[in-house]
């Protein structure tokens, strides 16, 4: 926290707008945080003319909300920012807005996934939606302070958003087999499942992650990582 990740991302967005042809930026972030991007971060750090809107599911049918989304979905002499909270990106109203934004900007978009550890589960609807949308964007960045808080296995899904196969494995099963130590266990009713009891080859995993990730540290505030895709 408070290691300057948001400013670094906005600086990057401005560079990509002026030099690499993007016209829009989508930010996936936790509920409430997505509004802070509009209310605080862009105001403080963006020096390029911009328009911004934060998706609000409870207001999505109101005229003011629809007009705000419409404005940022159009290309103009400004950067367009759309922020949307991660918990809802897989629902149809949000998907429709994302598709409209994507179409309006013809894919010339930077996707930013804030607190990407929220996408650590490969099979979740939000992870699958983020991965699908990322493939259609020109640039992708993920950022988090806790990429693997409880398990090294959590990094796979996050880096799949950056680029399929980024860590060198086509499936989560292959990734898990390479880094997890498992044993057969039995649950209620005698159901058999694989229980993770430890991890292996972690230096190799660190090396693979380092090819994509930049780490920003701040004394007294822990470590925050910003992973990138060129």
Contact 186, 204 (CB under 8 A): no
Structure tokens at 161: 């958003």
Give per-residue pLDDT as tens, 77-135. Answer: 999 999 999 999 999 999 999 999 999 999 999 999 999 999 999 999 999 999 999 99
What are 105's two structure tokens? 């900007």
What integer pLDDT is reported at residue 5 of this predicted model?
81
Cα distance between residue 192 and residue 169, in whole Å: 26
Measured from the Cβ of residue 215, the count of other Cβ atoms closer than 10 Å reads: 13
User: Judging by beta carbons within 10 Å of its beta carbon (0-12, 13-18, 19+), is residue 152 exposed, middle or buried?
Assistant: buried
The rounded distance, in Å, linking the Cα atoms of 228 and 140 is 7
CA–CA gap between residue 133 and residue 105 (Å, rounded): 13
Banded model confidence at residue 147, pLDDT cuts 50, 70, 90: low
Model pTM above 0.85: yes
Longest dimension (CA), the chain: 63
Q: Rounding to the nearest 10 degrees, give the CA dihedral for residues 207, 208, 210, 212.
A: 170
As a whole-number percent, the residues of the chain with pLDDT over 90 amount to: 74
**Closest-CA residue to 100 (of 79, 77, 71, 58):** 71
Report in angstroms the alpha-carbon separations of 84 from 67, 91, 203: 16, 12, 35
Residue 55 per-residue DSSP state: -
Cα dihedral sign, 180-130-52-48: positive
pLDDT at 223 over 50: no
| Per-residue pLDDT at 222 exceeds 70 | no
């Amino acid at each position: 926290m408070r290691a300057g990740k948001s400013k670094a991302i906005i600086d990057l967005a401005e560079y990509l707008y002026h030099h690499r042809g993007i016209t829009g930026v989508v930010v996936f972030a936790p509920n409430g945080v997505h509004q802070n991007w509009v209310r605080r971060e862009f105001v403080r750090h963006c020096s390029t003319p911009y328009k911004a809107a934060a998706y609000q599911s409870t207001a999505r049918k109101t005229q003011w909300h629809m007009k705000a989304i419409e404005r940022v979905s159009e290309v103009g002499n400004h950067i367009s920012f759309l922020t949307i909270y991660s918990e809802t990106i897989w629902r149809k109203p949000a998907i429709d807005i994302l598709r409209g934004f994507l179409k309006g900007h013809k894919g010339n978009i930077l996707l930013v996934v804030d607190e990407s550890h929220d996408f650590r589960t490969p099979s979740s609807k939000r992870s699958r939606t983020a991965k699908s949308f990322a493939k259609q964007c020109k640039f992708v960045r993920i950022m988090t302070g806790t990429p693997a808080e409880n398990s090294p296995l959590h990094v796979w899904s996050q880096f799949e958003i950056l680029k399929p196969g980024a860590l060198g494995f086509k499936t989560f099963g292959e990734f898990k087999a390479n880094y997890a130590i498992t044993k057969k266990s039995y649950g209620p009713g005698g159901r058999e499942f694989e229980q993770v009891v430890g991890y292996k080859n972690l230096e190799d995993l660190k090396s693979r992650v380092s090819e994509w990730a930049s780490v920003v540290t701040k004394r007294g505030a822990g470590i925050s990582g910003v992973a990138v895709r060129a």
